[in-house]
Each structure stands twice: as structure tokens, then as C-alpha cells.
Structure 1
Amino acid sequence: MSVRQSLLAILEQGPCYGYQLRAEFDRRTGSVWPLNVGQIYNTLERLERDGLVSKGEVDEQGHVYYGITDAGSAEVAHWLRAPVKRGQGTRDELAIKLAVAATLPAVDVGAVIRAQRRASVAQLQELDAAEYAGANPGGPEELAWSLVMDSMIFAAEAEVRWLDHIEKRLSLHPQHALQLELSTDRPKRGRPARVG
């Protein structure tokens, strides 16, 4: 997720100070991705360094307001037009855990999958039962919250389907056929040779 572009997009509406930006981010995302104020101010410093925001007025409470620059507005416009690119590889802890567990001797990978399915179904039930508790029911804050919640629900449903799928795939192989012994090949030190 791009905190940087999200904060810039909020600043398109007008100058804000750090705590205000955090509150606006929370309002627009249903507080499902909490940001700490230090992260906000670090991001603002980088945005200022990159010429995307500039410091403005300081109010009587000492709040420093940041405003978006023309370059910042251009970056927001580009971000909103461009599709989100998903990474090629995975750093999904669950996928890696199950891939490794399936290749280890004496691991009941079915039990690992069943434990994860129970946790995933419980999370899905919690998400399904969640109700909007913010201000302005039926308003834009609730709509933003529901968009994020729908994404989380669909991801949890997909995870349960994926767990069912891999359990079925693994059941087609005897456990001993999946085990990988440690390789006797010794990796070479240093960087791999360049091709071409």
C-alpha cells in the first residue's frame, strides 16, 4: 500500500498537519491500516525533500501545515490512473510456510492446513460480523470503510478456497513422495554469473 500517494491525495483537498493527515487517512480507510504519527511525519519530510509538498503556515497550536505542489498533484494523478501492480514473487508467510512444511519429513501438513483453515474461517466470520461504528452512518466514511472491509472479506474467502485447493492437491501424493532431503550440491559463493 502506498502511504505516500494516499497522503498526497488527501493533501489535494487542502493543507493539513500530521495528526490531521492521520485522522483523514483513518476516516477514508476505516482505520484498518493504522499509521503512527512518526510514519506520517517521516513521509511528509520525504515528500518535501522530493518537491511534492511544501511547508506552509504554523497555527497558534504550533501545527505545521503541508500543502501539495504541482509536482505532487501530478504524482497523485498518475497514481490514480495507473493500475496497482502485484509483485511477481510471493512473500506471503502462509504460502512459504506450507510449501516448506509439505517438503519436510514427519510433518503432518494436513494438520497445518486444518489449523490455518480454522483460523481463516474465524477471521472471515469476524469480518462478516463487523459493523460500521464510525460517525455519519450511510455517508462517505461508511462507504470507504465498507470498500476496505469487502477487500478483506474477499481475501479471507480466497484464502479458505486456496487452503481447500492445496489440501486436495497434497492428498494426491503420498507424504513420503513430497519430502526433500538436504541437497548434497554445495552452492557456489559469490554472485551468479551474468547471462548474455
Structure 2
Amino acid sequence: MSVRQSLLAILDQGPCYGYQLRAEFDRRTGSTWPLNVGQIYNTLERLERDGLVVKGDTDDHGHVYHQITEAGRIEVRAWLDSPVLRQSGTRDELAIKLAVAATLPGVDVASVIHHQREASLTQLQELNRANDGGADPDGAEDLARSLVVDSMIFAVQAEVRWLDHIEQRLTTHPHHAMGLELSTERPKRGRPAKVHS
């Protein structure tokens, strides 16, 4: 998720100071992605360095307002007009955990999947409860929060379907045939070749 572009998009609405930016980010994301104020100020420094924001007025409370530049507005428009592309490789901890577990001799992978499914279903119930919190369906803040929570619900639902798929695949392979012993082949130095699909 791009904190940089999100903060720029908020600044495109008008000048803000650091804590105000954090509050606006929380309002617009349903407080589902907590940012600390240090992260806000570090991002503002980089945006200023890159010519996308400038420091503006300071109010009576010492708040320094930042305002977007024309270059910043151009970057916001480019961000909003560009699709989000998912990474081609995986850094998904669960996928890696199950891939490794499935190749370790003596590991009960069905148990690993079972525990994960229980945790995922519990998370799904909590997200569904959070989404049914009696919010004002016409309120902009509630809509923003609901959009983010809906995304999380769909991701967990997909995870549960994927776990079902993995479990089905593992039942068609005898587990003893899947275990990999440590290789006796000495690895070559350097980076492994990239696999292209």
C-alpha cells in the first residue's frame, strides 16, 4: 500500500499538518491501516525533498502545514489512473509455510491446514461482525471503512477456498512420496536462476 501517494492525494484536497494527515488517513481507510506520526513526518520530508510538497504556513499552535505542488498533483493523478499490479513472486508467509511443511518428512500437513482454516474462519467471523456494526450506510467515513473491510473479507474467503484446494490436492498424493530429504548435491555459488512462467 502506498502511504506516499495516499498522503499526497489527501494533500491535494488542501494543506494539512502531520497529525491532521494521520487523522485524515484514518478517516478515509476506516482506521484499518494504522500509521504512526513518525512515518507521516518521514514521508512528508521525502515528498518535500522530491518537490511534491512544500512547507506552508505555521499556525498559532506551531503546526506546520504542508501543501501539494503541481508536480505532486500530477503524481496523484498518475497514481489514481494506474492499476495496482500484484507482485509476480510470492512473499506470502502462509503459502511458503505450507509449501515447506508439505515437503518435510513427518509433518502432519493436514493438521497445519486445519489449524490455519480455524484461524481464518475465526478472522472471517470477526470481520463480518465488524462490518455489521450498525454504521451509517450513507456516511462517507463508514463507506470507506466498509470498502477496506470488504476487501479483507474477500481475501480471507479466498484463503479458506485455497486451503480447501490445498487439502484436496494433498489427499491425492501419498504424503510419504512428497517428503524431501536434504539434498546431498552441493549448491552452486551465486543467485539461483529465475524461473519464468
- Normalising by structure 2, we get a TM-score of 0.94
CA offsets per residue over residues 54-100 of structure 1, 9 Å max, x none?
00011111111000000000000000000001000010000000000
Distance 2:137 2:191 in 1: 57
- Give the paired residue count: 192
Question: Which residue of 1 is the match for residue 41 of structure 2?
Answer: 41
- TM alignment of 1:1-196, pairs within 5 A: 1-130=1-130, 131-132=132-133, 138-191=138-191
Once the 2 structures are TM-superposed, how far is the Cα of residue 133 of structure 1 from its aligned partner?
7.4
Assess if the C-alpha contact under 8 Å between 1:132 and 1:145 holds in 2. Answer: no
Identical pairs, percent: 75
Once the 2 structures are TM-superposed, how far is the Cα of residue 138 of structure 1 from its aligned partner?
2.8
Distance 1:64 1:137 in 2: 35
CA offsets per residue over residues 5-32 of structure 1, 9 Å max, x none?
0000000000000000000000000000
CA offsets per residue over residues 103-162 of structure 1, 9 Å max, x none?
00110000000000000000000001114477x663100110110011000001000000
Letter in 2 for 1:45: E
Once the 2 structures are TM-superposed, how far is the Cα of residue 191 of structure 1 from its aligned partner?
5.0
SS in structure 2 of the partner of residue 66 of structure 1: strand
**Unaligned stretches of 5+ residues in structure 1:** none
RMSD of the TM alignment (CA)?
A: 1.5
Distance 1:70 1:31 in 2: 29
**Unaligned stretches of 5+ residues in structure 2:** none
- Normalising by structure 1, we get a TM-score of 0.94
Letter in 1 for 2:178: L
